[in-house]
Amino acid sequence: MAAIQAENAASASATENAPTSSISVMVNDCSGKMGHAVAEAAVAAGLNLVPLAITGPKMGNSRVACGGVAVQIIGAEERDSVFDRVLNEYPNVIVVDYTLPAAVNSNAEYYISRGVPFVMGTTGGDRTKLIDTVKKAGTYAVIAPQMGKQVVAFQAAMDIMAQNFPGAFAGYTLKVTESHQSSKVDTSGTAKAIVEYFQKLGVKFNVDEIERVRDPSEQVRRMHVPEDYLGGHAFHTYKLLSPDGTVAFEFQHNVMGRSIYAQGTVDAVLFLAKKVREGADQKLYNMIDVLKEGSMR
């Protein structure tokens, strides 16, 4: 019995301490700003970046330098042959998706069809369908609208408050404002998630009431976004006001740049690779799962 326990302990230790260089990651699409940031963070963390990436149909045939790795960008019309090659050369690859909201569901379905574990960092799409599809398929995946570590911790705190104090803000009015770079076409998934917690806390508010600020001049004037970060930021404000107007609460998280999301995405890849190696019974995870396990560097 002691020998078996020692063997199991050694196996667990080997799994826990597997070198990052043994983990291969394919980033679709690293020609975009977010995907590029993730690819560079992956290389910096010692992961093996696959030198191939899929982009939109008829948009490929280019190369992008990511942390010293030349990645060939190939159009989606060739993805079957690309994945054939990737799975042959990198059989334990994990895919990271930072594409477009319109491609979320179809991309996830394709990764599932190829049996590839994936981290879905792209927001938007039909999230209910996405979760249901992954659950039914039993594919290992991390799906989260927010990859920033500290913002995820804030979400976890909101979740705890909502679970333990339901209705605590009943009667309060809520105003949610989110500002992102003008290229972000969808409403922030993080803002939507936070609204769900406020709903559990008794606030009557629908996600379609979230105010999106995308005009650069308004972002500078009203949201106080530094001009240097107009091309990449996430400023969120949640304001609560009591029924009689005498009590106010305000929650705010302002992120400039993309490094917080890139680092969190790499953490998600490391976490998922560990779960795959262990053959974990649970297959679908979110960033709170990553946070709870302490899988944050």
Residues of the chain with pLDDT > 90, as a percent, come to: 84
- 282, part of any domain: yes
81 and 160, same domain (yes or no): no
Is a pLDDT exceeding 60 seen at residue 136? Answer: yes
Is a pLDDT exceeding 80 seen at residue 281? Answer: yes
Higher pLDDT, 24 or 145: 24
41 and 106, same domain (yes or no): yes
Domain of residue 137, CATH code: 3.40.50.720
Sheet holding 248-256, edge to edge: 211-213, 173-180, 233-241, 248-256
125 and 209, same domain (yes or no): no
- 1, part of any domain: no
Q: Give the pLDDT confidence score for residue 199 in this predicted structure.
A: 98
Q: Give the pLDDT confidence score for residue 257 in this predicted structure.
A: 94
Is a pLDDT exceeding 80 seen at residue 251? Answer: yes
Instruction: Give the active site residue among 36, 180, 233, 236.
Output: 180
Is a pLDDT exceeding 90 seen at residue 45? Answer: yes
Is a pLDDT exceeding 60 seen at residue 76? Answer: yes
182 and 105, same domain (yes or no): no
100 and 169, same domain (yes or no): no
Higher pLDDT, 241 or 297: 241
- 154, part of any domain: yes
Is a pLDDT exceeding 60 seen at residue 2? Answer: no
Binned at pLDDT 50, 70 and 90, residue 295 comes out as low
What total number of domains does the chain contain?
Answer: 2
- 13, part of any domain: no
pLDDT per position as a tens digit, 167-199: 999 999 999 999 999 988 889 989 999 999 999
For 262, the token pair is 């890139």
Q: Give the pLDDT confidence score for residue 18 in this predicted structure.
A: 57
22 and 137, same domain (yes or no): yes
- 3, part of any domain: no
Instruction: Give the active site residue among 184, 192, 200, 275.
Output: 184
101 and 165, same domain (yes or no): no
Please say if 184 is a catalytic residue.
yes
Is a pLDDT exceeding 50 seen at residue 8? Answer: no
115 and 181, same domain (yes or no): no
Domain that holds residue 167: 149-257
Arithmetic mean of pLDDT, 67-90: 96
- 215, part of any domain: yes
- 5, part of any domain: no
Domain of residue 252, CATH code: 3.30.360.10
Q: Give the pLDDT confidence score for residue 293 in this predicted structure.
A: 87
122 and 267, same domain (yes or no): yes
110 and 44, same domain (yes or no): yes
173 and 200, same domain (yes or no): yes
Contact 105, 130 (CB under 8 A): yes
Per the prediction, the chain carries an average pLDDT of 92
Binned at pLDDT 50, 70 and 90, residue 286 comes out as very high
169 and 27, same domain (yes or no): no
- 7, part of any domain: no
